[in-house]
Chain A
């Protein structure tokens, strides 16, 4: 009997391994596809020809200068959103939490739009987004972290929701006042778009940093998922662990928003998809969420720029359009 159960748990970890391997393959496949598909198409042959130096130089330039940074950006932003959502859901102890529940995206959008309204451009606007997100984080922690505040996830969540709605009003106000020619640039921050052509380097750096620092806390996360008080009783130092992980989750969300604007659903849905697939151990869940989130957003961006080609739409619209029905279907099907 005991052998059977020990084997059962080994099967579970083997199952996680298989899942992770499948996600690696899937993410690579989606990444490759998003390099190949588009207006200038050469297929795998074109890719091979370009790599071996005999193919169409235009194809090579399109891949290298347009599609590669865009796909890399989508991969990193999707990973950041999923990671941030996963951490927030456990820390706030609410399965409905996602990177934006603490008002981070609202703060980032407000910061960026404020910079735009002031006539800034380029890096200054991104800086505004970072500043807005981090200021929101500080504000929410300060407001919710009063006496006993740390013990109550609900208070943090509620504070975040209220701050977010405050930012929403601020954004509307700024958009209302903004001259028409700047309105389009401002809308980017609300809809989420990967076609802006920014450098994905920062997003990748933050992604690897956050994953690297949160992974050692994976066992603590497993315990926190089972209840804050229970985790404390079993030896998790709640306050420092929670502070570190909330900081990392906020940084991840801020980096995602500063790179691609507000993209919904990836952060909320990705962790749940993996949990429904039976992956509940955070040692596996953290890297799996990065891969699945990255693959989902890259796929959404690929579809967003090819289904109504030559027109393009923001990937954020597509993630919500596809995410909602898929998630509902899975939820209905699931025995849990």
Chain B
């Protein structure tokens, strides 16, 4: 199986802070990665680098075997989609227009979005429960509704690799689960993979089968749930004592 994404000796640093020095690994179709770490450990920076939005400070990132630096933005955007942590909207636009933007990498440069693209956008809005707000101005949406609109844009973009930076921000409990179920289903369907930045360990434990810890000092660790979700490791990661509590068959992580 060709890896969707391969990291070879990747180094990342911002303003003199090193987030990782020699990160190696592969992301295979069907995997769901959870990226965990304290504030300022470089989680978002890593996602941006994986989407090709910033250069790496060493090593290289391969998308389906080709270095990201050698691919055009358009061809990357057809295969890699990213949900940003925060978005600000300065200019007026309707929800449907924003979601339709997800078709940009698929529609030729000289052409316009057609009826098929509209249908896809509406279907995506339906799957996040926003179909009734299609013609509303973005500025009138609540934080959670905006988040769902951004997810709908990503669904319309329909990448193979889904990079999600705190996807559950602003969402209530019901929508948090619905969103992660939806995205995992879509990733499976497209033989793709998910990389999630999450702060909720229990949510991550429930959906992810691979983990990457960024300690913020340049130290990184990756592995499966059994090797990574251990009390001493999580305590060190978050600089706060953590322990697992059994609830039926599930283990729930709580801070001491």
Contact = CB atoms under 8 A, between A and B. Distances in A.
A1 B78 CA distance: 29
Given A95-B91, A233-B81, A336-B137, A6 B118 contact: yes
A208 B76 CA distance: 34
Contacts of A93: 90
Q: How large is the interface on B (under 10, 10 to 19, 20 to 34, 35 or more residues)?
A: 35 or more
B96 interface: yes
Interface string B81-119: 110100111111110111001101101011010010011
A229 B91 contact: no
A275 interface: yes
Given A1-B131, A6-B115, A235 B96 contact: no
Interface in B124-148: 126, 131, 134-135, 137, 139-140
Contact of B139 (A226, A233, A336): A336
Given A9-B135, A336-B137, A234 B89 contact: no
B76 A235 contact: yes
A237 B97 contact: no
Given A226-B98, A235-B73, A235-B76, A280 B82 contact: no
Given A5-B134, A234-B102, A235-B74, A216 B109 contact: yes
Nearest to B83: A233
Interface string A253-296: 00000000000000000000001000011010000000000000
Contacts of A89: 91
Interface of B: 48, 51, 53, 72-74, 76-78, 81-82, 84, 87-94, 96-98, 101-102, 104-105, 107, 109-110, 112, 115, 118-119, 122, 126, 131, 134-135, 137, 139-140, 153, 157
Interface of A: 1-2, 5-6, 8-9, 12, 89-90, 93-95, 216, 219-220, 222-223, 225-227, 229-230, 232-238, 275, 280-281, 283, 336
